[in-house]
Amino acid sequence: MATGAATVSARALDALLTQWRSTAPAYQALADRIRLLVVDGRIPVGSRLPAERDLAARLGVSRTTITATYTALRESGHLESVRGSGSVARMPTHAPAPIEGASSGFLDFSKATMPAIPRLADAAVRAARDLPAYLGESGFDPVGLPRVRQAIADRFAARGLPTDADQIMVTIGAQHAIALLSRVILGRGDRALVESPSYPHAFDALRGAGARLVPVGVTSDAGWDVDGLEQALNRSSPALAYVMPDFHNPTGRVMPADQRERMLALASRNGTVVVADETMAELAIDEVDQPLPLAAYGPAVLVGSLGKTVWGGVRIGWIRAEPDLIDRLVRARSAGDLGTPVLEQLIAAEMLGEYDEILAVRRDHLAAGRTRLERALGDAFPEWTVPHVTGGLTTWVGLGAAVSSQLTIAARSEGLLLASGPRFGIDGAFERFLRVPFCYPEGETDAAVAALSRAWTGLGRHPFPQRDALLADVV
């Protein structure tokens, strides 16, 4: 093991092992939990696990139980004994069953994303022609090129929210924007309201800023828990609230206008800065009566990007906020990066100039993908609940049993990568759900459903646990 590799203490591992016990033998339940944490990446590959004696004392189990646990992990290839380094987390080296047409044998459905829009290459050529005009400058741009900020502001205005360019900051994608806002708004120990389920990397950014998360429920059938939202704002007075009111990831729900008004009024009363993630906001599939952007109903900070609409490889996002907050963000930005790449901003300007046409292409693609996935899942898994969504990239499937993490592991053995339900919750919730994207080409969707069917059949040979198993989130 390389010098300086991480060590997971017994205390740290105990914190990750929330409610690991089950009706299975203790060593098996513990091994299953640790195995899933390794696959998920929450225990980094190459890190050293606690000594058997330390972990046994921390968990209140016998040394024999921990010895059997580590033995099971070694046999499955998730642990290796290294002389002088103890027990080290590993990933099994055996290859998955190959899926035709998938690179490296895997189909990666763990990400809700689309291939690049076909016109992107031509836009990049045009942007490169414009680049010489900027080469005499430093190239460090912490706020964004004026033409790009204006194009983003114009896009907001076209959606019914008048916006000035000085209310815009250009970032390196939406995740960068969320992390930067978290650092500037939150102090260590502050509370942050989040939806549950929600975008897991937002959880990471908020926790990275030292926040204590306060969850509020969102469901595919009922939407937001309005009473819970009101109670969380009034009782916790969170410093920040992270929400996704448009085609919520993963449920696909859209927050009604009256709920938007009520939430923002309560947030303002409690001194809470509301940050709305709009990365899915313009991915409507059906003709729906979609509300205006959240900031049209009260004070709110908006985050967006081109990652879901144009291509994830164009790392351009933005923040819409009042100029004083934009100034604070610019001053704080240098601690993490020194600005957004100029060439990518020029590509973004080209893309924003034809954004309506891009969205029309994406809408047709997503409509076909949604129809195909809903039909395929309905045929293959009649016992599942597959919600019909009106926009976004994913559906939040109800499995009818608390087996999401187990199913995800089984699907991996069939060459299919998926994000299990607990990946979108806090502390292991949502084992009865699975996020499935419908944004992939039809051949890949068919292959993914076939692999998922094989994995489900394999699980069916063993009794499903009659409990809400709190296993690790798997990506």
**Which own/partner contact pairs does 420-423 have at CB distance under 8 Å and 24+ positions apart?**
420/473, 420/474, 420/475, 421/197, 421/473, 422/470, 422/471, 422/472, 422/473, 422/474, 423/40, 423/200, 423/473, 423/474, 423/475
Q: Cα angle at 167 between 213 and 321, to 5 degrees?
A: 15
Task: Give the residue extent of every domain in the chain.
Answer: 10-89, 103-117+357-460, 120-353
CA 267 and chain centroid, separation: 24
The pLDDT score that the predictor gives to residue 176 is 98
The amino acid at 222: A
pLDDT in tens, 270-282: 999 999 999 999 9
Residue with the two structure tokens 């059938």: 221
Q: Give the count of beta carbons closer than 10 Å to the beta carbon of residue 384.
A: 16
Q: Which residues of the chain are under the pLDDT cut of 50?
A: 1-4, 95-97, 101, 103, 463-475
Distances, alpha carbon 292 to alpha carbons 114, 245, 258, 288, 297, in Å: 25, 10, 11, 12, 8
How far is it, in rounded angstroms, from Cα 248 to Cα 197?
9
pLDDT in tens, 93-139: 654 445 554 545 689 999 999 999 999 999 999 999 999 999 999 99
Level-2 CATH architecture, domain 103-117+357-460: Alpha-Beta Complex (3.90)
The pLDDT score that the predictor gives to residue 468 is 35
- Predicted TM-score of the model (pTM): 0.81
The pLDDT score that the predictor gives to residue 473 is 34
Level-2 CATH architecture, domain 120-353: 3-Layer(aba) Sandwich (3.40)
Whether the Cβ atoms of residue 305 and residue 281 lie closer than 8 Å to each other:
no
The dotted CATH code for 10-89 is 1.10.10.10
